A and B are shown apart, each in its own frame.
Chain A
Amino acid sequence: EAGVAQSPRYKIIEKRQSVAFWCNPISGHATLYWYQQILGQGPKLLIQFQNNGVVDDSQLPKDRFSAERLKGVDSTLKIQPAKLEDSAVYLCASSPSRAGGYTFGSGTRLTVV
């Protein structure tokens, strides 16, 4: 089966610019997660979707980050405006249910200069 697809693979932007990342989960996976992995740290959950509804966005910096999963399939994560501390790898993961079986994408590496 195809894995979790993410694009772009790499992105370099200047601070205060905006950026968007895209994720296409495994077909049929109802649950989708976005994680932020800062260099030298473990991934931190930003937002969790169940189909097209948000389950948990308690750690999403909502003043600058937004995410949507309009049709319950693919998802977009946006940062506007970006700050230097947003430099990280943004990982998307999906699972068939809220009971586990997670698969991670390769991630998007964002560098803010």
Chain B
Amino acid sequence: GDSVTQMEGPVTLSEEAFLTINCTYTATGYPSLFWYVQYPGEGLQLLLKATKADDKGSNKGFEATYRKETTSFHLEKGSVQVSDSAVYFCALTPDDKIIFGKGTRLHILP
């Protein structure tokens, strides 16, 4: 079945470091791809999305490109801040429901 695999955490970086969180997917069709973020004590928030191959989603300095040839949707940010500390979930919607990865916890040190 359709699934998402993302790199295990926790990921610990210093402030202003470059961030990459890897995400690959398995899907029989052409899903939309998402990154959600969950800040401590809060609910899931949509961070960015891409609906077709080669689309780039971006928000708050984060970017991810839908790569059909490598079935990937890696999350990147050029310079992380302490406030980016959260759990990040890669997800896909093959039809009308969301399938999530296990999440990657990110710690940013000042």
Which of B95, B98, B101, B103 interacts with A102 by CB under 8 Å? Answer: B98
Q: A98 — which chain B residues lie within 8 A by C-beta?
A: 95-96
Q: Does A110 contact B (CB under 8 A)?
A: no
Chain A residues within 8 Å of chain B by Cβ, number: 22
Q: Are the CB atoms of A33 and B97 closer together than 8 Å?
A: yes
Question: What are 24 A-B contacts defined by CB distance under 8 Å?
Answer: A31-B96, A33-B98, A40-B102, A40-B103, A41-B102, A41-B103, A42-B89, A42-B103, A43-B44, A43-B100, A45-B99, A48-B96, A48-B97, A56-B97, A91-B44, A93-B98, A99-B96, A100-B32, A100-B96, A104-B36, A104-B45, A105-B43, A106-B42, A106-B43
Q: Does A25 contact B (CB under 8 A)?
A: no
Q: Does B46 contact A (CB under 8 A)?
A: yes
Question: What residues of chain A have their CB less than 8 Å away from a CB belonging to chain B?
Answer: 31, 33, 40-45, 48, 55-56, 91, 93, 95, 98-100, 102, 104-107
Q: Shortest Cβ distance from A54 into chain B, in angstroms?
A: 13
How many contacts between A and B, using CB within 8 angstroms?
47
Whole-angstrom distance between the alpha carbons of A41 and B103 in the complex?
A: 6
Residue of A nearest to B43 (CB): A106
Q: Does B58 contact A (CB under 8 A)?
A: no
